[in-house]
Homo-oligomer: A and B are copies of this chain.
Amino acid sequence: MAGQDIEKLIKLVSKLPSLGSRSARRIVLHLLKKKENLFFPLIDAMNQVAENIKTCEVCGNFDTSSPCSICSSEIRNNATLCVVQDVADLWAMERVSLFKGKYHVLGGILSALDGITPDDLNIDNLIERIASENINEVILALPATVDGQITAHYLLSRLKDFDIKVSTLAQGIPMGAELDYMDEGTLQLALNSRKAL
């Protein structure tokens, strides 16, 4: 078998999401073969990120500065706040580059099964931000699951005393989808929320 150091590295790589021991082995071999072009640059980039990345104390995003570049941006709209479950969702929204407001990362959603209560989430911070900042619309960009909806309802109840607009992402048939591949729930929902042309 490979040396001890290599085995240790393979084991660590196999802990990464979507990788198993076989793909970890392939990745490590690939790195060993491309030492100059990939292995060393990757180590440098990882060091760079590990040393510099902070969690933004305002919104919860990852960035090299805190407040992050989105929170401290002067061209973004301070009045609209998009609430997301996770940094991954924030990045997904940013990839669309349509939303020009600011974000708030909850760090999860309520879940009876996983025992996640409002205290486990970044909700008090959100209420504080809405109370102190000049926010007039909150967009709840939460997952379209039961837990996501429960979280949205809970947030709505916490936000009802504020004079702000609260909205949620539209649900329906995704772009490019074939109707006969859609589940019944989505079809029902799309039918109920049909739009007049």
Interface residues of A (CB under 8 A from B): 1-6, 8-9, 12-13, 15-19, 23, 25-32, 35, 38-43, 45-50, 52-53, 61-64, 68-69, 87-88, 91, 94-95
Contacts and interface: CB of A to CB of B under 8 A. Distances in A.
B62 A6 contact: yes
A16 B34 CA distance: 10
A46 B9 contact: yes
A43 B47 contact: yes
A39 B1 CA distance: 25
A56 B162 CA distance: 69
Contacts of A49: 5-6, 9, 28, 31-32
Contacts of A15: 38
Nearest to A86: B29
Given A39-B46, A45-B12, A30 B17 contact: yes
Contacts of A64: 3-5
A61 B1 CA distance: 10
A62 B13 CA distance: 18
A149 B64 CA distance: 54
Given A5-B64, A53-B6, A91-B1, A41 B17 contact: no
Nearest to A94: B1
A16 B33 CA distance: 12
A27 B16 contact: yes
Contacts of A94: 1-2
B3 A45 contact: no
A163 to B, nearest CB: 32
A24 B88 CA distance: 12
A32 B50 CA distance: 8
A98 to B, nearest CB: 13
A131 B16 CA distance: 46
